[in-house]
Structure 1
Amino acid sequence: MRRIANAISRQVTFCKRRNGLLKKAFELSVLCDAEVALIVFSPKGKLYEFASPRYHFFTDLFL
């Protein structure tokens, strides 16, 4: 795996993968009745998060 040299392509790829990861976390929490917490930081330091209803305290506690 190599770093994507073009900054725009890298950002587009990050957005697509982030959205896919957040979707999978949601699906896991719904389909398996699992408690899931996910925290993702972009290369520029922007925060993205997902938490099952019972784990919102987790993101509030650490963020």
Structure 2
Amino acid sequence: MAEAEVKEPFEKKIRKLRKDFQKNVQPVLRRHNYYLSKGERRRIKRKKAIKRLQRRERRLAGKA
């Protein structure tokens, strides 16, 4: 271990670990919670992209 890592308080290490878990492990667990076919995943992804674009357009239209 590097010297900086050794001096870190235990709480800070726990916080880092929790943040890493939420960012890297949780989405994978959620994705494997139940089976989705490739086509279904693609449809969901496309739907989310459309919603995201519409939301962005509404925000821009509201500011202008």
* Higher normalized helix content (fraction of residues): 2
- Of structures 1 and 2, the one scoring higher in RCO (CA 8 A, sep 6+) is 1
The TM-score normalised by the length of structure 1 is 0.45
Pick the structure with greater CA Rg: 2
The TM-score normalised by the length of structure 2 is 0.44
